[in-house]
Amino acid sequence: MENTEKNNETPKEVDIKNLLETQLKNLEENNFNLYFFTMDTKGNPTAGIANIYKHVKTLNDLGYKASILHEKNDYTSVNTWLGEEYSKLPHVSIEEQQLKVNADDIIFIPEIFSNVMEQTTKLPCKKIVFCQAYDYVLEMMMPGKRWMDYGIDECLTTSDKQAEYLKNLMGPNLKTKVIPVSIPKFFTPNEKPTKPIISIFTRDQRDTVKIFKSFYLKYPHLKWFTFRDMRNMSVEKYAENMSECCISVWVDDISGFGTFPLESMKCNIPVLGKVPNMVPEWMEDKNGLWTHDINAIPDILANYVQAWLEDAAPTELYEKMGEVKDKYTEETQKEKIQEVYKEIIDERITEVKFKLERFEEMSAMSSEANNEIKN
């Protein structure tokens, strides 16, 4: 009370100042929480969820307090497909009311959950969109709404192309930061010769059926080649199975980055794919067998496997694959995570310092005005 009277500050002003000072202290001492809202895949492997877990693990390794935030108590563990090191990361359930948010905390919300953005509007913490799938941005958003309407002006994404798209969509005031995905080390070439197996991943499983049925129908002499659907496997089993194949087939029109072809290249397995709507920044004419026509895939595939059987696969294809396959390493991603999240925290510190300085200036002006009235 004595200090309040001395500085002519009201109790409310003292509370605001203390709050800002506490917030600043917590940010400077890394005494805050980073929450990553995550959907429950019910045990189904998902590249986007795996990437979120990589961020959370790396941030904890760097000394931050990062947690997976999920809605229900019965959230399905990722142990079966990501492993124990990820399933044991801190998890917080909203249903169990474990979430206690302070002004210095940050919540990262996936692009599809505009309902969560709206529900968290009144929370005192900072919110950042984590956008990995640009095509889902408007999925649940009310017409005419943008992220800024929910108090969000910052987005974390995985490529420069997605960042450009989001700024064009949401407006130039959106601040974007980019952290590319990484390909785990266990995606390596197989020591044994590759087999007459074709790994295939399509976002719509009907495309998988269409491709292999068309292939067998048009090229019955190649029916002894086996198609391997790359769904619902643990990451390590997935990598092992992929490395055995002679070629990979990829169709994903709305891919935001394209991890599957990069994983294949990392195993030194060529990729035959349909060019997605947003062309990946790593994609070049000669580092894969690319087409804009899904109906052409069986024909291109038949030509390639015939060349493979004759040991005449194009050498330039492998050379161009080599230029990109080692670009997205776990080490590179960890360095980028450290750099970008430090930027986020430093910007938050600068913002709070500005608020505190501005508040002190306004309080001083108010005190002077009150003194003049008294005199």
Reported as a single tens digit per residue, the pLDDT across 26-85 is 999 999 999 999 999 999 999 999 999 999 999 999 999 999 999 999 999 999 999 999
Residue showing tokens 């307090």: 65
Give residue 2's pLDDT: 40
- What does the alpha-carbon distance between residue 242 and residue 233 come to, in Å, rounded to a whole number? 11
Side-chain-facing half-sphere of 120: CA atoms under 13 Å? 28
pLDDT at position 239 is: 95
Helix (H/G/I), strand (E/B), else coil: 296 = helix
Give the H or E element holding residue 36: strand 33-37
Q: Are 351 and 72 in contact, with CB atoms under 8 Å apart?
A: no
C-alpha to C-alpha distance for 306 and 189, rounded to whole angstroms: 21
Residue 249 neighbours by CB distance under 10 Å: 30
150: how many CB neighbours lie within 10 A of its CB? 20
Give me Rg for the CA atoms of the chain.
26
Residues in Cβ contact with 200 at an 8 Å cutoff, skipping those fewer than 6 apart: 208, 211, 212, 227, 228, 229, 230, 248, 249, 250
Please give the structure tokens belonging to residue 352: 């709070």
pLDDT score of 96: 81
Note the pLDDT of residue 362.
79
Q: Confidence class of residue 371 from pLDDT cuts 50, 70 and 90?
A: low
Four-residue CA torsion sign, 128, 130, 133, 136: negative
Whole-angstrom Cα distance, residue 343 to residue 350?
10
Q: How far, CA to CA in Å, does 103 sit from each of 12, 60, 268?
A: 17, 20, 48
pLDDT of amino acid 301: 98
100 pLDDT band, cuts 50/70/90, is: confident
pLDDT digits (tens, 9 = 90+) for 305-360: 999 999 998 999 999 999 998 899 999 999 999 999 999 999 999 999 998 888 87
How far from 136 is each of 68, 110, 186, 279, CA to CA, in Å? 21, 9, 30, 17
140 C-beta neighbours (distance < 10 Å), count: 14
Cα 36 from Cα 130, distance rounded (Å) = 9
Angle 254-189-178 from CA coordinates, rounded to 5°: 40
Contact in structure between 359 and 20 (CB atoms under 8 Å): yes
Q: What is the structure's pLDDT at 16?
A: 82
Whole-number average pLDDT of the chain: 92
* CB distance 280 to 255 below 8 Å: yes
366 or 322: which leads in pLDDT: 322
Q: If you count them, how many residues does the chain have?
A: 375
Q: What confidence score (pLDDT) does residue 5 get?
A: 42
Q: Give percent of the chain with pLDDT exceeding 70.
A: 94
pTM: 0.90
For the segment 214-263, what is each residue's pLDDT rounded down to a tens digit? 999 999 999 999 999 999 898 899 999 999 999 999 999 999 999 999 99
Q: Name which of 85-99, 135-149, 221-235 the model is least confident about.
A: 85-99
**Rounded distance between C-alpha atoms, residue 265 and residue 286, angstroms:** 13
CA 271 to chain centre: 23
Average pLDDT over residues 275-298: 96
Q: How far apart are CA 223 and CA 59, in angstroms?
A: 48
More confident: 16 or 286? 286
Report the distance separating Cα 250 and Cα 100, nearest Å: 42
| Residue 368 confidence class, pLDDT cut points 50, 70, 90 | low
* Residue 17: CA count within 13 A, CB half-sphere: 17
- 157 pLDDT band, cuts 50/70/90, is very high
| Euclidean distance between CA atoms 265 and 288, whole angstroms | 9
Quick one: pLDDT band at residue 167, thresholds 50, 70, 90? very high
The pLDDT of residue 3 is above 60: no
Crossing angle for the helix pair 205-218 and 297-309, to the nearest 10 degrees: 60
Q: Which two structure tokens, joined as six digits, stand for 363?
A: 């309080």
**Torsion over CA: 128, 131, 132, 138 (sign):** positive
